[in-house]
Structure formats: C-alpha cells, structure tokens
Structure 1
C-alpha cells in the first residue's frame, strides 16, 4: 500500500479525504509534519475557503516548501479544490491579491457566470492520454467554488511535455477542472465527494504512486 500524507494545515474537514484515499488503497496519515510530508509516496494538499487564508495556513506549516521540494525530486503531489488553486502564481479575491506557490503561471479569479458559486455535479472535458480520468472520462464530479483558473497560460514551447489540462464549464464560463503535469496533479472538484467516479479517480492516482 502506498504511503500517502494528507497535509493538515487548518483547512476544513479533512477526514473525508482521508477515508476516500484509504478506500482507494492508500495507507494514509493526516499530519503537518514536514519530514513525513517529504518522505511519503504521495502528498495530498486539500483546501476549502479563501485563497489568502489557505496560503497563510500552508506557509505556516512550510507546506509551500514541502510541495516544492517534493516536485524537485519528482515525487507525486495531488492538490484538491483550493489546494489546486494555490499551486498557481496568484489569487485575487475581493480585490485582494495573494501570492501562490508559483508551480504554474496563472491567476485564480472569480468565475464569470450568472450564478456563483458553482455548486453541484458537472461533467469535464478530459484530454486524450489522460491517466487520471482513465475509464471515467464521461462521468460527473462534484464542484463547490466561486473562483477558478479561466486561462491556462503555461507555454512549454515543446521543450518539455505539455501538461494535460481538463476543462469544465459553468454558466458559459470555462475553467480548469484538473491538471496532470508529471508528478503534480490537481483537481478543482472534490473527488472525495464525487461518489464512484471520484473513488475511481483517486484509485487511478494511488495506483500511479
């Protein structure tokens, strides 16, 4: 069983993520310990609430450094919801701009849809070659968010393998629903709240560790 750490940095109820990962076949530890986070086969960074608060909590346990160190060594990281958003360069909420982890360029901003938040089940547009959505490309996943990344701006210029970006749409506004980028994987939706489809996605990730 792969050893997975769910990073406990004060962001919401993490027990559902722990249980879902255990059902997916992982040996899960919920902790903020830096060395444990570095040593695990996989690190999961959840997140709910405001971008600025999540970044403050993440920095408080050196989570940003933990993510950077793991990725430098090619070790898997999975971000969920705001745990995905903080991987981008910055977030803007209520006119407040907050620096993110800068693993990807881009800005997290308010969705431009008639009804916000985007709350409930939605389909996604997964790209060819996806491993994360293997066998569940046409399923529905559970979203709860008012902000997202509406423009993917990373350019690889064919020097490195381009990330696989999955999109979703709400109220006519498209946003990034998931990214597969080598050891760094992230979803805007909550796989732990997405029933059988979310369970299958987590199983795909755990099996890749």
Structure 2
C-alpha cells in the first residue's frame, strides 16, 4: 500500500487518481501507524512552506515523516512536498523544514515572470531508477520558490528557467519532484510509475 500523506495542504485528488491509474493500492491518510506500515509514501503539497510545516508539527506528522524516511522505505515529495524535504525556506520569513536533504528554498529573483508556470524540459544529471525507460522531456511546473542544493550529488534532474532550476532530487530512499508528475502527461506518469515500482523493493539507507 502507498500512503499519500494528508496534512490538509496537498493536491490529494490528482495524486491519488494517478496512483490508482497506475494500478497501485493507496490510502490518503494522516494516521501515523498506517503511514509507517506503508510500502511507500508520497508527500504532496500546495500552498506556503511555513503553513505546511505548522500543520505537520501540529499533527505530529513531522516526526512520522522523519521516522519513515529513516526506515529506508521510499518517500517522494511533490511540488511543495519536495521543498519541505529540505533544511529551510525563506518563503514569508525563515522556516525550518524536515531537513531530510540539505538545501535552502529561495524565491526566484530576476526580471522575469514569477511564478514559473508551464511546461519545461528536464535535463538528467545522473542515472536513477526514476529514469528507467525514459528520455528527457517536458513536465509541468507551477512554483515561485525553488531549491538551492548544498550537495550536487542530490541533483537528479534540472530544468532551465533563466538559469538552472532543481527539478528532481534523490538521496538513498528520499526523492522529490518540483513539478507535478500527475499533470505532466506520459513522461510524468512514467516517472511516478518508476517511483512506485521502488516501493515493491524498499531500499536500504546508507549508514
């Protein structure tokens, strides 16, 4: 079973329908035991970083997600959910994140349109099980903030929007996609399917 974590700020319907179309059993849940027993977990997100972290802390889901990641089972953050995986964000002040990956969430700066909204091409930076059977293609982004990584090795794919923008990250069993795979056509669904296939054979966290 795939746990789609419900903390009141996720695009739960579109993500759950995509998982269903791919043939995986899932549950939209805030129950800590159900999440910990899941074979894989998805942390979706729409809205402001600080509000999301407040909800995760108030519900106790912050510690649940940290424990889940430590278990070695696959965890995927989508859009805001990916940003929450990192150390902190400057969105509407400084806010601490889940700190599962080192990096900062910062606002786009420059004389160009923000939010970054629309279809942009992925550039793969290293091999990953997420890319099995895939070639680089276009996916759908909607965001005003982006992740500045501290470790280059965590970057799986980027896109170009007036400079390099972090698009997919991964370290051990923790993954993130800044775009919406469930709204990104065939390539997005294949990326999601490749992630879900990892949940059938959980990875081990390196010491």
Question: Normalized against structure 2, the TM-score is what?
Answer: 0.90
Shift of 1:164: 4.5
Is 1:192 matched with 2:198?
A: no
Structure (1/2) with the larger helix percentage: 2
Contact in 1 for aligned 2:11/2:44 (Cα 8 Å): no
Residue 70 of structure 1: aligned partner = 68
**SS in structure 1 opposite 2:23?**
coil
Give me the whole-angstrom Cα distance separating, in 1, the residues matched to 2:15 and 2:36. Answer: 19
Residue 208 of structure 1: aligned partner = 198
**4+ aligned runs moved over 4 Å, structure 1:** none
Spell out the pairing of 1:118-137 with structure 2 (5 A cutoff): 118-137=116-135
Residue 154 of structure 1: aligned partner = 151
Give me the whole-angstrom Cα distance separating, in 2, the residues matched to 1:45 and 1:204. Answer: 16
Residue 30 of structure 1: aligned partner = 28
- Cα deviations by residue, 1:121-175 (Å, 9 ceiling, x for unpaired): 11111123122122333211110000011x32137xxxxxx435311121x1322
Residue 94 of structure 2: aligned partner = 97
Is 1:179 matched with 2:169?
A: yes
| Runs of 5+ unmatched residues, structure 2 | 200-207
Cα distance change of structure 1 residues 128 and 107 upon mapping to structure 2, 3 Å threshold: closer
How many residues of Structure 1 are paired with residues of Structure 2 in the alignment? 198
